[in-house]
Amino acid sequence: MSEQQQAGPAPENATVKRGPGRRLIDWLFSPWMKDVNTAPYDWQQDAHRAFVEQQPLRARALLYMVAVIVVGLVVWAALAEIDEVTRGQGKVIPSRQVQVIQSQDGGVVTEILVREGDEVQQGQLLVRLDQTRSQSSFRENRAEYQALAVKLARLQAVVDKAEFQPDPSLVEAVPGIVSQELALFASSQGELDLEKQIAGEQLLQRREELIEVTARERQAARSLELTEQELRLTRPMVASGAVSEVEILRLEREVNQLSGEREQAAAQISRIKSSIKEAERKVATVELEFVNEVREEMADTITRMNALREAGLGLSDRVKQTEVRSPVNGTVKQLYYHTIGGVVMAGKEIIEVVPADDTLLLEVRIRPKDIAFLVPGQEALVKFTAYDFVVYGGLDGVVEHIGADTVMDEEGNPFYEVLVRTRESGLAEDKPIIPGMTVEVDILTGKKTILAYLMKPVLRAKQYAMTER
């Protein structure tokens, strides 16, 4: 093998060294060889060129691949976006105040159904007080109200001139009162019929009196007419002595008497006619007056029933107050009475319940340098330090309120109070979240590209470069 082959392939564009004889031949015959071959034919140079062209194919392919990958990564970094978050620490706080349950009227404790730390549901019975007095007053009020309801039904039947049929529920509740009202209904109807009968009889009696007095008045008028005629015929006989003066005086006295009887009968007729009109009016109004009296009694009954209804609401509430129930879903924080038979004073606290809402309220501390990018309504991810986020995950939330000014912590560091409310109340049924648990909150403030994230240290360095003293 020659020294040139042992030295390895020469570069593609390298000049091959030639001896003096070869250069002379090339110079002499180059004009004639120009048309045959413009380039000198050299087997060694061709082999070297072929070797050079074939050897770097893999290297150049790898180079091109690396270049494409780099360009692709740059384009991807310029287009791909990642979340930009503001982080803070905080704790779970009650979204509502602790519910202090009191007794309005007090009483004696008869049953305690929960203990401190128990989870309770809204409406769940917690403590029961003695119901004897409140139940007694309520039953008395209800019985009186039902009795008045039966009475009202009776009076309404009288007014409507209908048959009295009390409600079956009232018949079952107060059968004794119903029986009494049925008897009263029958007697009131009999009383009305009796009054109407008496008024009719009085009218008939007045009419009979009118007939009698009218007949007497007519008789007196006729007798007066005859007596006056007799007097006129007898008076001329006195002069001839056929009739004495005494007879004339007797006739004049009889005329006066009959005239008085006639006038008296006429006056009596006038009075009787007035009595008849009064009797007729009484016959016409006796039923109306009876109904009006019944209506007045109905109005009084309705007024009393309304008063009893209002009082019944209060008594019913007193009965309900003897059963102390939880107003919210939550956890029993404190029991003020632990013994059966304990006396609860009116207005005193019985139990405290910490509300457990469908959502959680978090109080998060944010550094002042991060507060400029926060606004209410931004999404947040809540991680509870008590539960491993990798295993149990977190809860989605939303920024609800941002403090107006900074607050100092125990070490004198300023921070902003931000309230974040979660969309759910817990991670799982067996993973309760209670007030006081610490949390880490990531608040989504925007998005940025990966290229911007990678260039940020460079831009920050550029900002402060060559500005030192």
- pLDDT for 278 beyond 70: yes
Residues pairing with 88 in the sheet: 441
- pLDDT for 379 beyond 80: yes
Residues 369 and 458 placed together within one structural domain of the fold: yes
The domain boundary residue, chosen from 305, 338, 353: 353
- Tens digit of each residue's pLDDT (9 = 90 or more) over 62-78: 777 888 888 888 888 77
* Residue 396 covered by a domain: yes
- pLDDT for 114 beyond 80: yes
- Tens digit of each residue's pLDDT (9 = 90 or more) over 74-98: 888 777 777 788 889 999 887 666 7
The domain boundary residue, chosen from 297, 320, 343: 320
pLDDT of residue 315: 76
Taking all residues of the chain, what is their mean pLDDT, rounded to a whole number? 77
d(CA 355, CA 16): 96
3-to-16, 25, 221, 370 alpha-carbon distances in Å: 14, 25, 193, 74
Query: Which has the closest alpha carbon to 315: 142, 84, 184?
Result: 142
pLDDT of residue 51: 58
* Residue 315 covered by a domain: yes
Residues 289 and 368 placed together within one structural domain of the fold: no
Give the CATH number, domain containing residue 462.
2.40.30.170
Q: Which stretch of DSSP H or E encloses residue 270?
A: helix 245-321
* Residue 71 covered by a domain: no
- Determine phi and psi for 344, rounding to 5 degrees: -100, 120
Residues 419 and 338 placed together within one structural domain of the fold: no
CA dihedral 13, 14, 18, 23 (to 10 degrees): 40
Residues 416 and 300 placed together within one structural domain of the fold: no
What is the tally of structural domains in the chain? Answer: 3
d(CA 22, CA 42): 12
Which residues lie below 8 Å from residue 449, measured CB to CB, with a gap of 6+? 77, 78, 79, 80, 81, 82
d(CA 305, CA 153): 12
CA dihedral 434, 438, 439, 440 (to 10 degrees): 180
For residue 459, what are the domain limits?
A: 83-96+358-466
Residues 372 and 276 placed together within one structural domain of the fold: no
- pLDDT for 5 beyond 50: no
Residues 173 and 303 placed together within one structural domain of the fold: yes
- Tens digit of each residue's pLDDT (9 = 90 or more) over 31-69: 544 544 444 555 666 666 665 555 566 666 777 788 888
d(CA 363, CA 436): 10
Residues 281 and 261 placed together within one structural domain of the fold: yes
* Residue 58 covered by a domain: no
- pLDDT for 12 beyond 50: no
CB atoms within 10 A of CB 265: 20
- Tens digit of each residue's pLDDT (9 = 90 or more) over 397-450: 999 899 888 888 888 899 999 999 888 877 876 777 777 889 999 998 877 777
d(CA 166, CA 306): 19
Please give the average per-residue pLDDT across 328-338, as a whole number.
Answer: 84
Residues 379 and 390 placed together within one structural domain of the fold: yes
Residue 437, burial from CB neighbour count under 10 angstroms (0-12, 13-18, 19+): middle
Please give the average per-residue pLDDT across 454-463, as a whole number.
Answer: 71
Query: Which has the closest alpha carbon to 103: 313, 343, 348, 317?
Result: 348
d(CA 223, CA 220): 5
Residue 102 in tokens:
């009191």
- The strand order across the sheet containing 99-102 reads 99-102, 349-355, 330-335, 119-120
Query: Which has the closest alpha carbon to 319: 103, 47, 12?
Result: 103
* Residue 59 covered by a domain: no
pLDDT of residue 417: 92
Find the farthest-apart pair of alpha carbons in the chain and give their distance in angstroms, rounded.
232
* Residue 287 covered by a domain: yes
- Determine phi and psi for 319, rounding to 5 degrees: -65, -40
- pLDDT for 182 beyond 70: yes
Query: Which has the closest alpha carbon to 265: 228, 206, 210?
Result: 210
Residues 237 and 206 placed together within one structural domain of the fold: yes
- Tens digit of each residue's pLDDT (9 = 90 or more) over 279-329: 777 766 777 777 788 888 889 989 988 988 888 887 777 777 788 888 888
pLDDT of residue 441: 92
d(CA 21, CA 27): 10
Residue 191, burial from CB neighbour count under 10 angstroms (0-12, 13-18, 19+): exposed
- Determine phi and psi for 53, rounding to 5 degrees: -70, -30
* Residue 27 covered by a domain: no
Give the CATH number, domain containing residue 124.
2.40.50.100
pLDDT of residue 347: 79
CB atoms within 10 A of CB 188: 18
Residues 265 and 371 placed together within one structural domain of the fold: no
The domain boundary residue, chosen from 332, 353, 374: 353
Residues 192 and 312 placed together within one structural domain of the fold: yes
Residues 303 and 263 placed together within one structural domain of the fold: yes
Specify the residue for token string 């019929």: 193
* Residue 457 covered by a domain: yes
